[in-house]
Amino acid sequence: MPTTTINGHEIHVDDEGFMTEYDEWTEDLGKVLASQIGIDMTDEHWQVIRFLREDFREQGETATVRRVQTAGGVPPKRLFQLFPQKPAKKMSYVAGLPKPHGCV
């Protein structure tokens, strides 16, 4: 597993750059990850990211767009605005989680 250094933080990532160690993530780091992919974090972004972190801790897998709607209360339309084009991958990247495996 490679490591990469982002803004002075050394983190373990997969080949694409998604973090692989849940506990290496902090909100400061999340902000840096977001800026790497052109996202300026707002309270609404944080609401999604905090839900993803919490949900992963309980479920052991990354929530899909569907689950962020049904369990996290954020509608898909908004998710596509907050994390344009590829919301599922972008939000999991910022949250320091693997890409979702679910089909829906």
Partner 1 sequence: MTDTITQAAPIVPSFNDEGTDRKLAIICSKGSLDMAYPGLILGNAALGEGVEVHLFFTFWGFDMINKKTMGDLKFTPLGNTATHMPQGLGGIPGVTHMATSKLKKSLEELAIPTVPDFLEQIVASGGHLWACRLSADMNHLTAADLYDDVEGIISAADFIELTEGAQLLFI
Is 103 assigned a catalytic role? yes
Our CA angle for 44, 85, 101, nearest 5°, is 85
Which residue pairs from 43-46 have beta carbons closer than 8 angstroms and sit at least 24 positions apart in sequence?
44/74, 44/78, 44/82, 45/82, 45/83, 45/94
Question: Closer to partner 1 at the Cβ: 47 or 69?
Answer: 69
Q: Using the rule CB under 8 A, is 75 a contact of partner 1?
A: yes
Does residue 73 belong to the site contacting partner 1 (CB under 8 A)?
Answer: no
Q: How far is the CB of 84 from partner 1 (least distance, A)?
A: 8
Whole-angstrom distance, CA of residue 43 vs CA of residue 85: 20
> Annotated active-site positions, please?
103
Q: Which residues bind partner 1 (CB under 8 A)?
A: 2-6, 10, 13, 15-18, 36-38, 65-67, 69-70, 75-77, 80, 84-90, 93, 103-104
